[in-house]
Homo-oligomer: A and B are copies of this chain.
Amino acid sequence: MRITTLEALAEKIKSCRDVTILTHSHPDGDCTGAGLGLCYYFRSVGVRANVKNSDGFPKLFDFLTDGYQDQEFEEKFVISVDVATPELLGDSLSCYAERVDLCIDHHRSNSGYAKDSYVDGGCCAACLIIYELLKLLGAKLTPLIADCLYTGIATDTGCFMFDSTGPGAHSAAAGLMEAGCRAAAINRRMFQIKSRGRILAEHRVIDTMTFSDDGRIALIAVTNEIIDGCGIDRAELDGFAGIPLSVEGVEIGITLKQQPDESYRASVRTVSADASAIAARFGGGGHIRAAGCTVGGTKEEAARAVMAVAAEYL
């Protein structure tokens, strides 16, 4: 069933006991922050809760998991956060696909797989939903919970830069800073610091940039050769998808990232075109200005295929 008001969601949350919270695989800042923030809230009001994902949390977020330990209990309620479809739970959590009690998400494309779902597709981050939920619940925001939620809102909005950023994101950031989140340190870690390898990789990736349709479409390719050659971690590739759209005149930016199995995953970013529609043509999905899909073939074949479809959406 669809839960349509935050008040109804809050009522549901109040009745939860012995909760397992699931995030999507390859966890990013938003699902990590939302999962842990909600978990720390439950624990703060005496409700046992754990967070699980298929891959473990990346080292990048260790300031949020520092001190986190699984609790022992028999799970009575399962919540997924920021998980649009059960496939995104990943292999080791696929057993949960049909037994999620409550899904809290901000993807319009949410498939409604959970028993109950609260989906706010207009919200820039799952963490913003959790923030507003906790405020409604009258929760005391500890600095750690504030760090979790700030991390998700900041990363999903590109530090308040993307079109998805609304006044609510800024109001939440103000509230989270007042609650003691370490915004400056988080910003530096998420957005400013790059390893020398990452800077080198950006360098090499920019050399791969190609344009089509009078410079309105740009594409870069991040190959395993570049990743391995520069000695960087795949978690460091996050910001790369923004590079093509940063070039003046580009309306659709495509980033091909070669996967460990050699296939290509495309990130599509747009100024005004519907990115999720482009990704959907390859079986992918996402948001209206940022979406992703897997594309078959060699690098050249994948590039041609995505650029051709993108051109239809100019």
- Assess whether A184 is interfacial by the CB under 8 Å rule: yes
A247–B177 CB distance below 8 A: no
Identify A177's interface contact among B161, B167, B194, CB under 8 A: B167
A174–B170 CB distance below 8 A: yes
8 Å CB interface, A168-189 against B: 168, 170-171, 173-175, 177-178, 183-184, 187-188
- Assess whether A59 is interfacial by the CB under 8 Å rule: no
Chain B residues in 8 Å Cβ range of A203: 203, 206
B193–A248 CB distance below 8 A: yes
- Assess whether A301 is interfacial by the CB under 8 Å rule: no
Interface residues on A, range: 35 or more
B245–A192 CB distance below 8 A: yes
B177–A163 CB distance below 8 A: no
Provided the pairs A170-B177, A171-B170, A174-B170 are in contact, do residues A165 and B184 lie with their beta carbons within 8 angstroms? yes
How many copies of the polypeptide does the oligomer hold? 2
CB distance from A138 to the nearest CB of B (A): 20
Q: Is the interface of A mostly helix, strand, loop or mixed?
A: helix
Chain B residues in 8 Å Cβ range of A165: 183-184, 187
- Assess whether A122 is interfacial by the CB under 8 Å rule: no
- Assess whether A160 is interfacial by the CB under 8 Å rule: yes
Cα distance, A159 to B262, chains bound together (Å): 36
Chain B, Cβ-Cβ closest to A243: B199
Cα distance, A175 to B188, chains bound together (Å): 25
Chain B, Cβ-Cβ closest to A196: B247
B171–A246 CB distance below 8 A: no
Interface centre among A167, A242, A245, by most chain B C-beta atoms within 10 angstroms, is A167
- Assess whether A63 is interfacial by the CB under 8 Å rule: no
